[in-house]
Structure 1
C-alpha cells in the first residue's frame, strides 16, 4: 500500500481558519438554537448548565484536538483538492472513524441514540466543513 501524507504542503492559515470555523460550529451545535436543549434533555440535565471547572483549559484542549484533525485532513487532501473533495474526505473520515467510535463508546455507556447522533453528528458536519474550507483554499 502506497499512502503518502505531505505535511509540507499544509497551508497553516487555512487549517487554523477551518479549526476556528469548526469550533464556532460546535458552539452553535450545542446551543439552544440547534441541538443543545435536545442534548441536555437526553443527558438528563435540567435547569441551567452547571459552570465548567476549567473552561479555558477545556476550550484550548478542544481547539488543539480539532487543529490536529484539520492538519491531518489538510495533509491528506493536499493542495488544489477543491471543496467537493474536501467535503467528501472530511465527511468520510468523520463517519468512518469518529462517528463509529463515538457510537461504540456511547452504546457501552448506555447513552441514547439522540446523544450518539448529536455528538457524532457534530463531528461529521464539522469535518465536512473543515474539508470544504481546506479543499477550497488549502
Structure 2
C-alpha cells in the first residue's frame, strides 16, 4: 500500500473550501462569530496567510490519519506488518484490491469519523470553554462535513 500524498493534500485543501462556505456570514458565519465571541475588529490585523497555512497543515495531519480509517486495505496491510510479499496479503489484494474504494464509501467512513470523533472533541473543549450548543453544532458540524468530504476524496483517489 502506498500513501497517496496528492489525495491527502486535496483532502486538506477541501477543508478551506468547506470553511469558506460554512463560515460565510450568509450560512453560519454570523452565528459562529456571536457564539465564539469573535468580532470583525478581532479578525482585522491577523496574519491570514499564516492562519490558512496552519489550517492546511493541521488538515493534512487529519487527512493522513483519516486514510487509515476510510481505506480498508490499510487494515490488511497492517495485519501482515507491511509485508507485501506475504501470500495472504497477495491473495487478499487479488480478490479485494479496490473493493470499497469509492467516494461514497469514503464519505460514509469520514462522516462516522466526524460524528463520533471530531464532534465529541469539539464538544468536550466547548464544555470547558463554556461555549453554547450552537457553537458546538456549528464548529462540530463543520468537521463532520469536512471529514466526510476528506474521506470521500482520499478513498476515491487510487
> How would you bin the TM-score normalised by the shorter chain?
0.7 to 0.9
Cα 1:119–1:52 shift into 2, 3 Å = farther
Counterpart Cα distance in 1 of 2:10 and 2:64: 11
In the alignment of these two chains, the number of paired residues is: 131
Asked whether 1:120 is paired with 2:140, we answer: yes
Which of the two has higher C-alpha Rg?
A: 2
- Aligned positions of 1:81-120 closer than 5 A: 81-120=101-140
TM-score (norm 2): 0.73
| TM-score between both structures, scaled by the size of structure 1 | 0.83
Gapped regions of structure 2 (runs ≥ 5) = 74-97
Q: Which runs of 4+ in 1 moved over 6 A?
A: none
Please identify which structure carries the higher helix content.
Answer: 2
Unaligned runs of 5+ in 1: 1-7
Q: Which has the higher contact order (CA 8 A, sep 6+)?
A: 1
The Cα shift of 1:124 comes to 0.5
2:54 is matched with 61
Contact (CA 8 Å) 1:9, 1:75: kept in 2 or not? no
Relative distance call for 1:83 and 1:98 in structure 2 (3 A) is: same
